[in-house]
Structure 1
Amino acid sequence: MGARKRISAEARKEARKSLYFAKLKNVPTSPRKMRLVADMIRGLEVNRALGVLKFSNKEAAVRVEKLLRSAISNWEQKNERKAESGELYVSLVSVDGATTLRRMRPAPQGRGYRIRKRSNHVTLFVDTLNINESQN
């Protein structure tokens, strides 16, 4: 690795130390379905987001709930204290497409229909709610 590349990689790594996140990779759900769940909790306070996910009837909500609990745990680990209610919120949720498994389904007259089994990657960031921001 070149010197410039190494320096920028170390700077990126240092910047990520102040962020609190969790990643979920290769989830066998289509990205479109997962984005519906991610849109439900984006920007919400953490306890409210957990409630929304718990009572959602979407299958992807169970996975995102577990991911959110992991992100909260990561925040608690780095700050060495428990998260109080109203302190944390979901700052960013991104859903990216992952690999697609391509399968064939038998069709009439000797043909085959393509089936695409999509998967995705989810990244969830939590952040502390500043008192100054809530008063504005």
Structure 2
Amino acid sequence: MGVRKKERAEQIKEAKAQVAFAKLNNCPTSPRKMRLVADLVRGKKVELALNILRFSQKEASRKLEKLLLSAIANWQAKNAEASLEEAGLFVKEIRVDGGMMLKRLRPAPQGRAHRIRKRSNHVTIVLGENNNTQSN
């Protein structure tokens, strides 16, 4: 491995150590429905995001709440000595990508068939620390 490549790899590794993230793969909800809920918490503080997800009526909010709790636990595992309240964690990035699609056939009149696409998605939550006190 060359020197520049090795230095760049070390920089990327250090940058990843600063943030905490969690991934949910092949969640059996359509990406469009999940994005509606993800847009509610993007950029919010962690406490506020948890409250929004806890009291939302949508089914996707239950899965996002569990994923956010997992990301918080990952952050606490990296920063055992730091406290959650003083860190000022917020949802830095949340991505919802399309996952695999189950293709099914539904019978239709006159011997025809319609294709049903059961969509799934991949969700990634990245938490960032905010040392400044902002109100979101």
TM normalised by structure 1 equals 0.87
Could you tell me how far 1:19 is from its partner in structure 2? 1.7
Could you tell me how far 1:8 is from its partner in structure 2? 8.4
C-alpha RMSD of the superposition = 2.2
Q: What's 1:37 paired with?
A: 37
Q: How many residues align?
A: 131
- In the TM superposition, 1:48-127 aligns within 5 A as 48-81=48-81, 82-84=83-85, 87-127=88-128
| Separation of aligned partners in 1, 2:92 and 2:41 | 10
TM normalised by structure 2 equals 0.87
CA contact (8 A) 2:31 2:120 kept: yes
| Separation of aligned partners in 1, 2:44 and 2:71 | 14
Matched letter for residue 90 of structure 1 = V
Matched letter for residue 70 of structure 2 = S
**CA gap 1:8/1:104 in 2 versus in 1, 3 angstroms:** farther
Could you tell me how far 1:129 is from its partner in structure 2? 1.2
Matched letter for residue 118 of structure 2 = K
Matched letter for residue 48 of structure 1 = L
Could you tell me how far 1:116 is from its partner in structure 2? 0.2
Could you tell me how far 1:130 is from its partner in structure 2? 2.3
| Separation of aligned partners in 2, 1:14 and 1:47 | 26
**CA gap 1:30/1:10 in 2 versus in 1, 3 angstroms:** same
Question: Identity over aligned residues, as a percent?
Answer: 52
CA contact (8 A) 1:47 1:85 kept: no
**CA gap 1:85/1:19 in 2 versus in 1, 3 angstroms:** closer
| Separation of aligned partners in 2, 1:48 and 1:85 | 15
Unaligned runs of 5+ in 2: none
Structure 1 segments of 4+ aligned residues over 4 angstroms from their partners: 6-9
CA contact (8 A) 1:46 1:86 kept: no
| Separation of aligned partners in 2, 1:63 and 1:84 | 24
Q: What's 2:20 paired with?
A: 20
